[in-house]
Structure 1
Amino acid sequence: MTDPSPGIDDLLRTLAPQVVGVLTRRYGDFATAEDAVQEALLDAVTQWPVEGLPRNPRGWLIQVAGRRMTELVRSEQARRRREDVVAGQQPADRLTAPPADAGGGADRDDTLTLLFLCCHPELSPPSAIALTLRSVGGLTTGEIARAFLVPETTMGRRISRAKQRIKETGTAFRMPDAAEWPARLDAVLHVLYLIFNEGYTSSAGPDLQRVELAREAIRLTRAVHALLPDDAEVAGLLALMLLTDARGPARTGPDGGPVPLAEQDRGRWDAAAIAEGVALVTAALPRGPVGPYQVQAAIAAVHDEAPTAEATDWPQILALYGVLARISDNPLITLNRAVATAMVDGPAAGLALLAGPPDGLAGHHRLYAVRAHLHELAGDRAAAIADYRAAARRTASLPERHHLSLCAARLANR
């Protein structure tokens, strides 16, 4: 298969959810529409680099995917007829093959509707992430499998089960109504947040970051923000991603290992992304109600606007973590709040917050890593070494394991 140029690749990822949306809205069969579009994308990847871009790329994809959908539906009808003959039964209700003309109404953008469908509350977060990346993000099953370090067949089954589950729910292809909106938008934002986090700091494997996942999360969140420009939490999530991702160029050292925030070369941070993120969260906060993504974005903005690590306004960060804990407390917030507390009131105060491990973090490597850092600040070298080593044993990220082991060795060799 011919590799697409970056321009074609970006175009296909933008058009893929729009074409899935057109076919799903027209024929009411998301699973088959998604399969048909995947086949059309493969055709485009093969033909466009050789033959050149069609005059109307979106219309080309709709037409080709519409033909593929007809073939898939007819194949399914034939399979069912064979099964009926073997079983000696009368034909059951049939799928109806879509008409050949799939062009009508093709100008409508159903990307947000499709995103809500892929983030259906009946799906587990891993299934929703996989389905979102394929159907809305335009990634191939192989790309998603590689990103999450699982075999392609395993990821294919996960996506197939997710599509089947949506089919079983009988969910219509439409935007949620007023009663469904808050929970469904929360689910969409949560899935995008999880995709970004996995891209920004990989949970396992040889790479600290999976840049393509982080960028895809930002792209999809931009699409949601464009459709819901007045939603403060959507703006907050986009701001959080931009402000966090802006530090990406300085996050890794020459060996690919992590560089702590206080040691990063801030001259390598993306100033344009920081400016955009600050503007977004500054405009979002007064609109209210204030949600967790806006508060996290405000914290990220305080970090990013500090010219040096020493100039960081830790009292303001600690106050914001207090607000965040009241809105949406979770173990990771407790960890970060402990660090902020240590920077304001001393490491002993931060360690006191972690005296009893927060629910859900007992045995987690991040708990040990934070405690190690605070023990080091407190001058308790032995405790810091023990916790650095414990954290290294518990992480599945190879760069993090190497970094934590080096921290322990550095202290042990003093």
Structure 2
Amino acid sequence: MNEALLRSLTPSVLGVLVRRGADFAAAEDAVQDALVEAIRVWPTDPPRDAKGWLVTVAWRRFLDATRADAARRRREDVVDEEPAPGSAPAVDDTLQLYFLCAHPSLTPSSAVALTLRAVGGLTTRQIAQAYLVPEATMAQRISRAKRTVSGVRFDQPGDVATVLRVLYLVFNEGYSGDVDLASEAIRLTRQLASAIDHPEAAGLLALMLLHHARRAARTTPDGSLVPLAEQDRGRWDTASIAEGVEILQAALARDQLGEFQAQAAIAALHADALVAEETDWVQIVEWYDELARLTDSPVVRLNRAVAVGEADGARAGLAALAGVDESVPRYAAVAAYLHERDGDVVAAARLYAEAALKAPNLAERDHLTRQAARLNSLR
């Protein structure tokens, strides 16, 4: 069973049902039923047209559910006649579906959660982990969001900024999490950037390309994490870097700076260094200052502390870190790194061990555990 194929087809199949008149919640239920049926049937009887098969089965499930519910009889004018089975239209509704999930009637957090679940294919558990909330809480949030957009016309777009945030979070989940959605996020962002005249859409695309260019060097063959400073830069994708820099320069020239353009500028400075020692940390700190003014994000201030530590020394980095809330994810890992740079091996080992316990994934946990063990062996 090709789970990647099912994941890639899910949003377009869902989009077809919504465009035909199904409300969002009912359409998603029907698509989930079709996916379950595909997992059961395809191993022994694979279809010639996978998308067409899913559309046909999902639409039939939607019809069955609608006709069985007396309270929904008013929809019969939409579902009286079932389209004949056959090839699904070669239309990609995925991006439009992102806009539906980013409808103004939803809060930004609900829009992101709904899109990650319905379009991105992430589980409720994965989304809850990203938001640092209990899974039950996230399930309720997603259910409320689905009810809110049920009945919303498919041609009513949502907020561009929210769609960009959704794409950004999908990319981050695909880049470093359990589900590989990075390439899909790049494809959709490229499509969005070509469809709308928006410098932040271009900035986000540049950011994704610059980060994705380093992907091959981020881990060893056994899956161990490789820190940026230790990566084999010969394995970076120079074509993606060049494209990302070109897109970023065009966006910055419009003088409408946004957070994604600022983040992309930082990534471009890292990509510009042939070796880690050549990294222009002074400029990176300046861009983090711009980013902090744009977002006032504690995560930005945390990353800025690292950059300050590289540009001005570990003591300066620790002073910058003092203004960051200790509850911010990866705070302990940054504190450990700066304390080690400052020569406090005991504190660094303790903080690396603490950070390992809070790590969001196994690769990061193993890396931090090894760092703690390395320092403990020196004592």
Scaled by the length of structure 2, what TM-score is found? Answer: 0.82
Which residue number in structure 1 is paired with residue 59 of structure 2?
66
Among 328, 335, 340, the residue aligned to 1:371: 335
Matches within 5 A, 1:226-375: 226-228=194-196, 230-356=197-323, 358=324, 361-364=325-328, 366-375=330-339
Write the distance in 2 (CA, Å) between the matches of 1:59 and 1:390.
50
Matches within 5 A, 1:58-137: 62-77=55-70, 80=71, 94-96=74-76, 98-102=79-83, 110-120=93-103, 128-129=111-112, 131-137=114-120
> Kindly tell me: are residues 344 and 227 of structure 1, through their superposed partners in 2, closer, same or farther at Cα, counting changes over 3 Å?
same
Q: Which amino acid aligns with 1:111?
A: T
Contact kept in structure 2, 1:4 and 1:49, CA below 8 Å: no
Write the distance in 2 (CA, Å) between the matches of 1:187 and 1:94.
33
Contact kept in structure 1, 2:308 and 2:317, CA below 8 Å: yes
Matches within 5 A, 1:138-217: 139=121, 144=123, 159-167=142-150, 171-176=152-157, 184-202=159-177, 210=178, 212-217=180-185
Which residue number in structure 1 is paired with residue 11 of structure 2?
17
Write the distance in 2 (CA, Å) between the matches of 1:52 and 1:34.
21
1:219 has 2:187 as partner: yes
Contact kept in structure 2, 1:144 and 1:155, CA below 8 Å: no
384-393 or 57-66, larger mean C-alpha shift: 57-66
> Kindly tell me: are residues 408 and 122 of structure 1, through their superposed partners in 2, closer, same or farther at Cα, counting changes over 3 Å?
farther
Q: What value does the CA root-mean-square deviation take over the aligned residues? A: 3.5
> Kindly tell me: are residues 156 and 221 of structure 1, through their superposed partners in 2, closer, same or farther at Cα, counting changes over 3 Å?
same
Write the distance in 2 (CA, Å) between the matches of 1:369 and 1:267.
27
Aligned-residue offset at 1:231: 1.7
Which residue number in structure 2 is paired with residue 86 of structure 1?
none
1:399 has 2:363 as partner: yes
Cα deviation 1:31-51 (Å, max 9, x = unaligned):
222333344455566459845
398-407 or 303-312, larger mean C-alpha shift: 398-407
> Kindly tell me: are residues 95 and 248 of structure 1, through their superposed partners in 2, closer, same or farther at Cα, counting changes over 3 Å?
same
Which residue number in structure 2 is paired with residue 84 of structure 1?
none
Q: Which amino acid aligns with 1:198?
A: E
Matched position secondary structure for 2:123? helix
Write the distance in 1 (CA, Å) between the matches of 2:128 and 2:256.
38
Q: Which amino acid aligns with 1:69?
A: F
331-340 or 372-381, larger mean C-alpha shift: 372-381
1:53 has 2:52 as partner: no
Matched position secondary structure for 1:290? coil
Matched position secondary structure for 2:69? helix
Q: Which amino acid aligns with 2:94?
A: T
Cα deviation 1:347-370 (Å, max 9, x = unaligned):
2111111223x2xx3234511211
Aligned-residue offset at 1:346: 1.5
Which residue number in structure 2 is paired with residue 206 of structure 1?
none
Matched position secondary structure for 1:53? coil
Matched position secondary structure for 2:67? helix
Contact kept in structure 2, 1:342 and 1:374, CA below 8 Å: yes
Write the distance in 2 (CA, Å) between the matches of 1:43 and 1:152.
26
Write the distance in 2 (CA, Å) between the matches of 1:24 and 1:244.
34
Write the distance in 2 (CA, Å) between the matches of 1:231 and 1:186.
10
Question: What are the ranges of 5 or more consecutive residues in structure 1 without an aligned counterpart?
Answer: 81-91, 203-209
Write the distance in 1 (CA, Å) between the matches of 2:156 and 2:269.
36
How many aligned positions are there?
A: 369
Contact kept in structure 2, 1:112 and 1:227, CA below 8 Å: no
Aligned-residue offset at 1:239: 1.6
> Kindly tell me: are residues 216 and 156 of structure 1, through their superposed partners in 2, closer, same or farther at Cα, counting changes over 3 Å?
farther
Write the distance in 1 (CA, Å) between the matches of 2:302 and 2:139.
36
> Kindly tell me: are residues 76 and 226 of structure 1, through their superposed partners in 2, closer, same or farther at Cα, counting changes over 3 Å?
farther
Question: What are the ranges of 5 or more consecutive residues in structure 2 without an aligned counterpart?
Answer: none
Which residue number in structure 2 is paired with residue 88 of structure 1?
none
Write the distance in 2 (CA, Å) between the matches of 1:24 and 1:304.
42
Cα deviation 1:138-167 (Å, max 9, x = unaligned):
x3xxx6357569999998877544322333
1:383 has 2:347 as partner: yes
Cα deviation 1:77-106 (Å, max 9, x = unaligned):
2xx5xxxxxxxxxxx974325132548x96
Write the distance in 2 (CA, Å) between the matches of 1:152 and 1:328.
27
